[in-house]
Structure 1
């Protein structure tokens, strides 16, 4: 039987305005470095220079280059003082400015001899070469990446100040594939995620799982249809407020938004493609707002072929990168294969008929 739609569809732009109204960003928290990965940076301290002084970059003998002029295997240069052996990370001794390999010195006889010249800085990592004084690990509003953790550990930091929204996902029976997709996306976005399974598909069972005592954003997955299938929306209406049911977007048009106390709620359809579309168009902007994330960067490439769209419905298009162009993989109806292989996604606005082949479009990467 063909699924009926809500009597009216709310434009996507108005939906975003409605769900973000009155929602405040979450407060920064200090997290251990491993837990901060993927979270959005809050205030970051300015660091000192690293390394703080010249250190050896390789094993060898620490010497002064100006003392080695003319040295070669044919004309060894006697050493006037005992050389100092250093290993990577060791401080360069005062008065030295290069590190020579082990075989560049002959230490067998009573007087050591140098068999090669050296250049100032050879085998040396200079002070501040990895990190200049005043460096910030990551800009505020940007997600913490593995390279940022490398800098933090080098600076001997144990925690980072980040914003990590608490997200609760309520899964209705039969929607596990979509729910797990949402959970994976949320964790990759730096959210702290808890999952609750409704014991049944009825409104009462779902309502019992709608707990917002320890979350900043509540998601339900499944039960957003109309008639007998809108149990999640009914549960939200019983416990809180439904702001819109039926969004002018494809896929995901049976989604709903609301508030439970002051916590924003998004009810996602139970099909993976619809859940993904609602995540991209609605949930991710809410998470970005909660974490004060800087604007996401888009990648502009020409379209390999045209995208046609119906006016009045915003549509999600999945794209693959091919020979310097965006190749449309799916528009409006998203297969699992297209989801798995997509490099980027594009929102076709509701007032647009699409884009012509060759037109440059700004798309967001699926994996940032």
Structure 2
């Protein structure tokens, strides 16, 4: 039996571990998915949409007329029309030469005689050609997350499938870390991954290795069993099945994390504790997933700090932040409570070479809720 792997005397710098994971990785090939399945995936290159509406249409029910013909019309001075106007429903194509829609009560029709009781301006009650979808528009820009409002545009344009990049993430849960595994799986789906989850039947090396073989994937993540306890065998299983690049990362929380490869597939071994797994996910696993999806850089917001962040040199520290007014307020530094995780709006990682940031210093924080 392969012995449980121990942490080395020195920790691997976070940047070194991340660089090793990203080395040689390319975005996965795009696939076509039905609109509902494309939600939260990362868009690939897409052709421009047709303009919509394709011609001027009525935006409301009423009478289709030409605005210049109605100058001076009012309830005190009704304007007779040479011929009865056309009635249109919302969405109908505008009749030729008509450029406005009047409300029903602004036109009186008695037999063959019609008179107008109010003026209008060109475009009133009308949706112009291309007003909803302009020429050259896209459902979603390549590298951006497909949102529900993007699907609305696709449906209006008559698009039924979208081209997206959706890597396969295999989550192996080591018994005892189910809540953390669910957190990771849900985070991965929101990041655009297809998630395949399984649980090792036991915490021993053979059971974990067997779980590795359950499915081919673009990224393999294990949850739990990365520490130095007697039943922590995830890293030993990785060594038996593939290659351990680093075990023990200079990241707080998350020092017992490991990275490696099984064949060409990158592997991140997350600790089972939710706070440690959360930090390692965002610091190591999420950037790998972003590379695989071809995602554009995540949005960062620069604001001054409301108070100082102090950090120990030598270990990168994960910081959770909440926005208060026009400043970032630190909620937790290095030690993350579940309450802080729930309330956090953004995060940053203080580099291991830094002692922190002074109050009032502008910092770029990455948004947790995009």
Q: Give the structure-1-normalised TM-score.
A: 0.96
Which residue in 1 is equivalent to 2:201?
A: 199
Which residue in 2 is equivalent to 1:311?
A: 313
Which residue in 2 is equivalent to 1:210?
A: 212
Which structure 1 residue ranges, 4+ long, deviate > 4 Å from structure 2? Answer: none
Which residue in 2 is equivalent to 1:153?
A: 155
Which residue in 2 is equivalent to 1:8?
A: 10
Whole-angstrom CA distance in 1 between matches of 2:176 and 2:216? 25
Structure 2: segments with no counterpart, 5+ residues: 1-5
Matches within 5 A, 1:139-288: 139-211=141-213, 213-288=215-290
Matches within 5 A, 1:339-354: 339-354=341-356
Whole-angstrom CA distance in 2 between matches of 1:24 and 1:68? 62
**TM superposition shift of 1:354:** 0.3
Residues 30 and 163 in structure 2, CA contact (< 8 A), matched pair in contact too: yes
Which residue in 1 is equivalent to 2:49?
A: 47
Whole-angstrom CA distance in 2 between matches of 1:251 and 1:227? 17
Whole-angstrom CA distance in 1 between matches of 2:231 and 2:352? 26
Whole-angstrom CA distance in 1 between matches of 2:313 and 2:110? 86
**TM superposition shift of 1:295:** 1.0
SS at match of 1:339: helix
Which residue in 2 is equivalent to 1:335?
A: 337
Which residue in 2 is equivalent to 1:21?
A: 23
Residue among 63, 66, 75 paired with 2:65: 63
Residue among 137, 140, 144 paired with 1:138: 140
Matched pairs, number: 365
Say what the alpha-carbon RMSD is for the aligned residues: 1.3
Query: Per-residue displacement from partner, 1:4-32 (whole Å, max 9, x unpaired)?
Result: 85422110111011112222321000111
Q: Give the structure-2-normalised TM-score.
A: 0.96
Residues 212 and 218 in structure 1, CA contact (< 8 A), matched pair in contact too: no
Whole-angstrom CA distance in 1 between matches of 2:26 and 2:7? 32
Does the alignment pair 1:324 with 2:307? no
Whole-angstrom CA distance in 1 between matches of 2:214 and 2:175? 20
Structure 1: segments with no counterpart, 5+ residues: none
SS at match of 1:289: helix
**TM superposition shift of 1:230:** 2.9
SS at match of 2:105: helix
Which residue in 2 is equivalent to 1:117?
A: 119
